[in-house]
Amino acid sequence: MADRDRVSDRALEQGFEPTDVSPARVALFGVGTLVTIALAGLLLWWLVGIFAGLTEHGPASWIERTELVPQPPQLQRQPTDELELYMARERGILTTYGWVDRDAGLVRVPIDEAMSLLAERGWPEQDGAERGEP
């Protein structure tokens, strides 16, 4: 109480603490914190040991025993040769006559011939229903 007498009433009203914190209590709090951290570490070490022991058993199913090997990528063996074959096949479709649907009477004409016919005859007229008009 002697410390309280040395402090003015105004300082006490403003929240001044007339006494200091005990160093022994601060040290005790620090030791308690370190002990708690050490106990938590020991508990975690013990739990990890238990759970690691649970996973040391062999595979549970045939899926885990099977080694999975991914398939190799599906690459073209000769990309330039395959491109040439593709382009030749497409060029053949564009430059030759052939049936698209024999039963319906649809034929394929060479693209040059089709463009000439279109330029000569014009675009075929359609009725309004086919063009999407109301």
pTM of the model: 0.36
Note whether 132 and 122 are within 8 A (CB): no
Q: What is the pLDDT of residues 67-78, one digit of tens each?
A: 888 888 888 888
Give the confidence band of 94 by pLDDT, cuts at 50, 70, 90.
Answer: very high
| Mean confidence (pLDDT) of the chain | 84
Cα angle: 16, vertex 19, 20; to 5 degrees: 105
pLDDT surpasses 80 at 6: no
Angle between helices 79-95 and 111-121 (to 10 degrees): 30
Which of 93, 86, 120 has its CA nearest to residue 108? 93
